[in-house]
Amino acid sequence: MEADLKQLEASLGYAFARAELLLRALTHRSLAKQVAQEAGTGEAAVAGDNERLEFLGDAVLNLVVAEALFTAHPEWDEGELTRVRAQLVSRQYMAGVARAIDLGQYLRLSRGEERSGLRRKSTVLSNTMEAVVGALFLDGGLKPVRAFVERRVIGQAAEQLAEELRSGAALGNYKSALQERLQAARVGAPVYRVKSEMGPDHRKRFLVEVRIQTRAGEPGETVEPLARGFGSTKKRAEQDAARHALEHLAADAGAPGPDAARSDQAESDAAQANAGESGPHQEERAAP
């Protein structure tokens, strides 16, 4: 274990003065509980797991990532800073950071969980990574955390994430990208309406229309439909509609005007509906 910890410290870029902090950060609740039961001390010894360090590390990670983005990108507004930070500290992303330093091999698990493959699960990896950040902070303050975050968490990812989020590509979050674009242009807010539901319950398709709300507090005051989208759920249909709307808004001045764009969209909608809902089970009814 000592040799292994030295290798992990090399990956973290920091040598712990109190190695017990790193050991605690790597200790899953299952092992702490197993040790307590074998010692006959019941739940009292479960405090030896990494959950408190995980709590601390989550807060420290958010602070350090926010500080780094704020300092490095004075041109970004609050929305961009918030969204990029959210991506960088997300469980999915932090699990990727943990895998990059092979953190899973250092986890301290109970015998039962060792056989279950727990050390490969994203949630466990991200939680442990946060616990390690908490241990870094307690042992060395913010300096080693900043160094680790700069090298392993942010790197070149921030710029790429910002661009993806602005275009709506990251995680397919086209709705957020459309809302930010319309707000920046001061033309109103997007409003989504389910126009129809097609197909049987086990294979349903939704048609959603997105419009621009032109008066705050008056949902009925909207312009012509900006775009439409299809999906197997209402949320997916809304994302598809937002994606089409972003495509229309991104067209340059020489592109076809709004009427032509809506005409093309209508033809596309019809083609998708016919392709996806043909057959004896097809049915359509107005959404409530």
Count of structural domains, the chain: 2
Domain that holds residue 180: 170-285
Q: Are residues 147 and 218 in the same domain?
A: no
- C-alpha distances in Å from residue 78, one per residue of 118, 226, 285: 37, 27, 42
Identify whether the C-beta of residue 179 lies closer than 8 Å to the C-beta of residue 241: no
Distance CA 10, CA 141 (A): 18
**Spatial CA neighbour of 240 closest among 202, 278, 208, 274:** 208
Q: Looking at residue 171, what is its pLDDT?
A: 44
Q: Has residue 271 got a pLDDT over 60?
A: no
Q: What is the mean pLDDT of residues 26-41?
A: 75
Return the minimum-mean-pLDDT range out of 15-19, 91-95, 275-279: 275-279
Q: What is the mean pLDDT of residues 10-27?
A: 94
Q: Are residues 141 and 25 in the same domain?
A: yes
Last residue of some domain: 122, 149, 164?
164
Q: How many other CB atoms are there within 10 angstroms of residue 129's CB atom?
A: 29
Q: Looking at residue 31, what is its pLDDT?
A: 78
Which of the following is catalytic: 80, 113, 130, 139? 130
Q: Has residue 43 got a pLDDT over 60?
A: no
User: How does 201-232 read in b/e, with b if 16+ C-beta sit within 10 Å?
Assistant: eeeebbbbbbbbbeeeeeeeebeebbbbbbbe
> Is 130 an active-site residue?
yes
The token pair at 147 is 């160094």
Distance CA 193, CA 191 (A): 7
Q: Are residues 219 and 110 in the same domain?
A: no
Identify whether the C-beta of residue 41 lies closer than 8 Å to the C-beta of residue 176: no
**Spatial CA neighbour of 251 closest among 226, 221, 271:** 226
pLDDT tens by residue, 187-219: 788 899 999 998 888 788 899 999 987 655 555
Q: Are residues 119 and 229 in the same domain?
A: no
Last residue of some domain: 118, 139, 164?
164
Q: Are residues 159 and 178 in the same domain?
A: no
Q: Are residues 23 and 108 in the same domain?
A: yes
- Predicted TM-score (pTM) above 0.75: no
What is the rounded (10 degree) CA torsion for 276, 281, 282, 284? -130
φ/ψ of residue 46, rounded to 5:
-65, -15
Q: Looking at residue 159, what is its pLDDT?
A: 74
> Is 49 an active-site residue?
no
Q: Has residue 222 got a pLDDT over 60?
A: no
Query: What CATH code is carried by the domain that includes residue 62?
Result: 1.10.1520.10
Q: Are residues 271 and 186 in the same domain?
A: yes
Query: What CATH code is carried by the domain that includes residue 179?
Result: 3.30.160.20
Q: Can you say whether residue 102 is alpha, beta or left, with left for phi > 0 and alpha for psi between -120 and 50 degrees?
A: left
The pLDDT-based confidence of 68 (bands split at 50, 70, 90) is: very high
Q: Are residues 96 and 131 in the same domain?
A: yes
- For tokens 């807010």, the residue is 189
pLDDT over 70, % of the chain: 71
Which of the following is catalytic: 49, 54, 58, 80? 58
Q: Are residues 116 and 147 in the same domain?
A: yes
Query: Could you tell me which residues come within 8 angstroms of residue 163 by beta carbon, excluding any fewer than 6 positions away?
Result: none
Q: Are residues 130 and 224 in the same domain?
A: no
Q: Are residues 78 and 48 in the same domain?
A: yes
Q: Are residues 181 and 229 in the same domain?
A: yes
Last residue of some domain: 164, 181, 209?
164
Mean pLDDT in the chain?
77
Q: What is the mean pLDDT of residues 132-155?
A: 95
pLDDT tens by residue, 164-187: 665 555 545 778 778 877 877 777
Q: Looking at residue 281, what is its pLDDT?
A: 34
Q: Looking at residue 128, what is its pLDDT?
A: 95
